[in-house]
Amino acid sequence: MPRLGRILTLLGCALLSLISTSCSPLGEPVAEGISSGYYFSRWGDEVFFSAEGNWLGLGKSVVEGADRESFRPLSEHLAVDRARVYYRQYPQPQVDRDSFRVQGRVWQDDAHIYYARSRDTRLRVVEGADPEMFRYLFPEAENPTDWARDAEHYYLRHKAVEVDVDSFRILNETFVADRDSIYRNNTLPLARIVEVSGPIEQINDFHLRMGDQIISAGSWAFEVVTFDAIDEVRAIGTRVLVLNGQVYEKGKLLREWDGDAASLTTWPDNPYYAHDAGAVYALRPVLKRVEGADLASFEPAQDYGAYATDARRVYFNGRHLKDADRATFAIGRDADGVFAHDKHGRFMMGIRP
């Protein structure tokens, strides 16, 4: 029966592919190498927009008023004809057609920088941005919503932030700073955490050191811990620090933790597990002893580190997977990415799907 099911699935996929190509109402792509969304109508003078060409799943729309002869895409979701600029299927009369241009991830005319959010039908203006100097700071997806700058301002999610431009810097994914303050990254307006009082050292993506202060923030509320002196700083994964022989998690002292801080360490390049001289610990979602784990044989998976094995068991984030077959458990990879499996099938986030 499982084999018959696979055969039927393959036949269904083949039939769907045949339908999608032979019955497609989209016609020929306008410029396939530039955009997978714009198509000339198969039967008329219209131009269609269908996101990624997926008309079966996402539908199609007529590009309103498009002139077929002069129509050309500029990027995946932007196009022009002799008279207008278009975002997806929507004309943008507020944009100056003659000066509009797409330069990498920057969308602009002579007067403005533009951007769009996922459900927008009209391009938005980055208020106050200088079109000649505006640039994004990181090579992420097309027209992202993160950090950008021009000569006078830094912008977060296309909004200018109030910082000292000459001294401003992005410290890591959690913190930014200027000469006066350390701020929490990715908040609007920027949330000031603490005044700058000396050199700032990045410990990891969620922790900074500034003199005798440790600043911690992530998905949790920020914490600033002040010491008389700091003699030892060791990062254990991303959320745990050993400070002066004591263990802190998310910036808070773990007073009840009964392990050995002096020997606590992680496996190389693994943020999910740690160990001390006598026990194994899971680091996510919180620091916790992995009960029953054999330290001598314990090993996190190389390609999918939330999974781990010892001589007898399989674990996910420190939880014993009782239905996993240890002898055949392995990490595999296919076109969809990395996955965990044994002779009985796959796991998804530690659970049988």
- 198-205, long-range: CB < 8 A, 24+ apart: 200/171, 202/171, 202/172, 203/233, 203/235, 203/241, 204/172, 204/235, 204/238, 205/172, 205/173, 205/174, 205/238
- Give tens-digit pLDDT for 77-99: 999 999 999 999 999 999 999 99
Is the pTM for the entire model greater than 0.75? yes
For residues 68 and 19, which has the higher predicted lDDT (pLDDT)?
68
Task: Give the span between the Cα atoms of 294 and 298, in whole angstroms.
Answer: 6
Give CA torsion, residues 29, 34, 35, 36, to 10 deg: 60
- Give tens-digit pLDDT for 248-282: 999 999 999 999 999 999 999 899 999 999 999 99
Residue 7 pLDDT exceeds 50: no
Task: Give the span between the Cα atoms of 38 and 19, in whole angstroms.
Answer: 20
Structure tokens at 1: 């029966």
SS3 track for 281-302? EECCCCCEECCCCCCCCCEECC
- Give tens-digit pLDDT for 223-255: 999 999 999 999 999 999 999 999 999 999 999
* pLDDT score for 9: 45
Task: Give the span between the Cα atoms of 157 and 155, in whole angstroms.
Answer: 6
Q: Can you tell me the mean pLDDT for 117-123? A: 93
- Give tens-digit pLDDT for 192-211: 999 999 999 999 999 999 99
Closest CA to 294 of 272, 313, 274: 313
The two counts, helices (H) then strands (E), for the chain are 2, 38
- Across the chain, what does the average pLDDT equal? 91
φ and ψ at residue 2, rounded to 5 degrees: -60, -40
N- to C-terminal Cα separation, the chain: 19
